[in-house]
Amino acid sequence: MFLQKINHLCSENGIKLTNRNKDAFEIIYNLAKKWGSSINITANLEEEKFIYENILDPILALKCYKDHINRVPFSIIDIGCGGGFVGLIWHIFKENEFKTILFDSDRKKINFCRQLIRELDLKNVEAIQGRAEIASIGHFDTIVTRATFKLLEDGIQKCQRFCDRSGKIVLFRGNNDNSVLEQFKGQEIVYDIKPKVLKRRLFVVSPISQF
C-alpha cells in the first residue's frame, strides 16, 4: 500500500524515484511508526500525511532550490534535523551524491537517525548530537533547517556559523510567516504539493556578517 501510494503521489508531482529510493522510503516510514510509539519522531505517522510532509515536501524543496539557485549541493548540514526528514530524504533521493550531516540536540532523535543510517547502509552521512550555538563541526555548502524559529533572524543566526563563504542557508517557512525577507538579501521560493495543492515556502539566504 505504501509503495502504491508513493508511486501515485510522486507521479502527480513530477518526481521520478528509483526502486532503491522507494525501498528506502518505506523502511524510513516503518521505522518511524515503530519508534513513534515511544518518542515524537513526527506528528504525521498516517501513511499519506507522512508521504506529503516527510518525503514529497523535502524532495520538491530540493528540486526548487536546485532550479532557482542553479546549483547542486555538495555538502549539507540539516540543523534541528529531528527524524532526519530533510537531510536524509535529500541524501537518499540523490543517492549519496553529497556529504550530509544530521544535527540535533535531542539524543533520541539522533539515535533514530543513526538507526536509519545503519539499516539503509548509507554512505557519506552522519548523525551528530549537539547544540548549534556551540558546535564546531566544519562549514558546509548548504545549511538546511525545517526547525521552527519564532523569528527568521534567529534561524539565520543559528545556521550561518556552519556556512562556508559561498554557501546558502535554506529555511523552510510556514505560510503564516510574516518575516521581511528583503533585509536578509535572500529570495523566497514558493511551491505546491499536489494533488491537494499544499503551499510551501523556502527562504534562501547567504550568511549575514552583521549578525
- Is a pLDDT exceeding 50 seen at residue 72? yes
Any idea which residue has 550561518 for its cell? Answer: 160
Please tell me the pTM assigned to this model: 0.90
Single out the residue of 81, 58, 78, 65 nearest to residue 205, CA to CA: 65
Nearby residues of 115 by Cβ (< 8 Å), 6 or more positions away: 31, 35
pLDDT grade for 188, boundaries at 50, 70 and 90: confident
pLDDT grade for 68, boundaries at 50, 70 and 90: confident
Beta strand 163-173 with 198-205: parallel, antiparallel or unpaired?
Answer: antiparallel
**Least confident among 4-13, 89-98, 131-140, 190-199:** 131-140
Cβ distance 86 to 58 under 8 Å? yes
- Percentage of the chain with pLDDT > 70? 89
Crossing angle between the packed helical segments 107-120 and 19-36, to the nearest 10 degrees:
150
* pLDDT tens-digit readout, 160-187: 889 888 889 999 986 655 555 555 667 8
| Domains of the chain and any CATH numbers | 58-205 (3.40.50.150)
pLDDT grade for 132, boundaries at 50, 70 and 90: confident
